[in-house]
Amino acid sequence: MSKLALAIHGGAGTILRSQMTPDKEAIYRKALEDALEAGYKVLHEGGAALDAVVAAVVSLEDCEWFNAGKGSVFTHQGHHEMDASLMDGQTGRAGAVAGVRLIKNPILLAQSIMDHSEHILLSGEGAMAFAQEHGLAFEDDAYFYTTHRYKQWQKALLEDRTLLDHDDRETDNDLDEKKFGTVGAVACDVHGHLAAATSTGGMTNKKYNRIGDSPLIGCGTYANNRTCAVSCTGHGEKFIQAVAAYDVHCLMEYKGLSLQEALRIVVNEKLLRIRGEGGIIGVDACGNTAMIFNSEGMYRARKEAGGVKEIAIYK
């Protein structure tokens, strides 16, 4: 019997204790704990790893303080374009969605694509039509509007640049609350089955329907019962170049490395060589979790059977 385990992340980047007020930190920690408990409750009640990661990510998507779902950043056109993906380590099935608007919980759409279509990745208007056909919840633009995201977008428009969700180049106090990231979860259930899920609003002021690593199986998300389940956060283009999520699996399967060592090599060696900033969370089939990042911080949490529980932000 495998050890129950769940790990989550809410983005990685320049997250400094010196820039965090006690009230703000308490908000983040509470949001991480809520998502952690939502996912772990599924595992504790004998549920599947797949359902656990979905529950955790839905909780994070419903929180405005992370760049996914409700808290998604603005595009250049002033919209919110969201991506998400999900993979079942037991069967290899996966579902993903890219560039959708007005979907309350993109991870639920990814799950619906996995369960009710012959496809893995749908995008844009077609994905939204699929969501309507399958009864997914929509919200209007007002639901996704948050003042801090709007100010972040206005500054990016003025400077005519895009911002990663973990970009540290802003200096205005009003914009200090910019460090919200891609969210994700990985889980191991009582049967040793693994699953991973990732969801994001992408980059502030992004143009041309830009899509990062989050909806790409093998880049931002991967799960295989033989090795691991992983979810990535950071500079999406670099994670795509590195095929980061699948590379963790390969190091474990072909070289026999532990989860911790495989993550260390990908995050602290391979990604750094191409100036890829970010982090990856993972779990193996024995219920061992790991959370590694090469940035100043990563919103993260994990819970394992036997009493291990951690909620952390800084290095």
Residues serving a catalytic function are: 182
Eight-state DSSP code of residue 66 = S
User: How many of the other CB atoms lie within 10 Å of CB of 24?
Assistant: 14
Question: Is residue 212 a contact partner of residue 236, using CB atoms and an 8 Å limit?
Answer: yes
What span, in angstroms and rounded, lies between the C-alpha atoms of 218 and 269? 18
Q: What does residue 306 show for φ and ψ, rounded to 5 degrees?
A: 105, -5
User: 45: phi > 0 → left, psi -120 to 50 → alpha, else beta; which?
Assistant: alpha
Q: What does residue 166 show for φ and ψ, rounded to 5 degrees?
A: -115, 20
Distances (CA, A) of 116 to 24, 105, 119, 135: 40, 17, 9, 12
What span, in angstroms and rounded, lies between the C-alpha atoms of 229 and 226? 10
What span, in angstroms and rounded, lies between the C-alpha atoms of 103 and 236? 21
